[in-house]
Structure 1
Amino acid sequence: MRFEGTGLDDKVYDISLLRKVLGEYQLLSREQWDYERISFDRKFEQLDTKEVFYLRVQGYAVEGNVDSNHAKIKLLTPILGKHYYPHGVEYGDDEVIPNNVVEKSKSILEVVSKQLAEAVK
């Protein structure tokens, strides 16, 4: 599932700002990066069904390398997917994702977008 119109698409931010703001909402990069690309993921676990979902904010370096604290990252459209053990996460439009996970993801993206926009004013 793609979240269009979040205000994050195609915006460029300093990586240290992204780590700070996204980290406040448990969107963490951990091992999901290389020198040009980075992904910030938040895990959602449904305790009743044991299903796992991931909200992902992806980006790529337009200046510097991801491993530096001075890189400029251009963000892509945020996505939400379902994890299938042991294969990985599927982000297709045909995935069935609970409404509470979708709404929480939208809420997080809205707040993150506002905080990032205010931080660069």
Structure 2
Amino acid sequence: MKIEDYDFHGKEFNFGRLVRIMESNGFIHEGQWDYERVTFDYKLLDQTDDATYYLRVQAVAVQGEIPKEDAEVRLLTPFFGRHYYPHGIEYDEDFPEKIIKKCTQKIEKLQQDLQEAETL
């Protein structure tokens, strides 16, 4: 499910600064990058139905290469999905309201931090 109600798509950031902002909000990017793309994941566990969800924010390099600190990257539209073992992430389904609410809160906080970083 794409999260299009927020002003993410097309915003550009220094990769090093973006990593710090994402990590301070609980997102990780472990091995989900190559020299042109990166995916930051926030993992949500729902113990009531033993489900795992991922809120994802992706970016693409516009100057330089990922993971260099000085690379410039452009954000894409965030989205979230449910993980199904062993098949992977499914993005097109009905999500529990509590998961949507948690993702919305996380995106709102992230957007606030990104806006603050733009003014620095």
What interval of TM-score do these two structures reach, taking the shorter chain for normalisation?
Answer: over 0.9
Gaps of 5+ in 2: none
Q: Distance in 1 between matches of 2:87 and 2:100?
A: 22
In the alignment, structure 1 residue 98 sits paired with structure 2 residue 96: yes
TM-score (norm 1): 0.94
Report the equivalent of 1:45: 45
TM-score (norm 2): 0.94
Gaps of 5+ in 1: none
Q: What is the DSSP-based 3-state SS (H/G/I as helix, E as strand, rest coil) of the residue aligned with 1:120?
A: helix
Report the equivalent of 2:71: 71
Q: Distance in 1 between matches of 2:34 and 2:64?
A: 12
Report the equivalent of 1:117: 115
Q: How many residues matched?
A: 119
Q: Distance in 1 between matches of 2:18 and 2:27?
A: 9
* Contact residue 14 and residue 73 of structure 2 kept, 8 A: yes
Once the 2 structures are TM-superposed, how far is the Cα of residue 6 of structure 1 from its aligned partner? Answer: 1.1
Task: State the Cα deviation string for residues 61-115 of structure 1 (Å, max 9, x = none).
Answer: 00111121111110110001010100100112xx121111111111111111111
Q: Distance in 1 between matches of 2:3 and 2:35?
A: 25
Once the 2 structures are TM-superposed, how far is the Cα of residue 47 of structure 1 from its aligned partner? Answer: 0.9
Q: What is the DSSP-based 3-state SS (H/G/I as helix, E as strand, rest coil) of the residue aligned with 2:53?
A: strand
> What is the root-mean-square deviation in Å for CA atoms of aligned residues?
0.9
Report the equivalent of 2:85: 85
Amino acid corresponding to residue 65 of structure 2 in structure 1: N
Amino acid corresponding to residue 54 of structure 1 in structure 2: Y
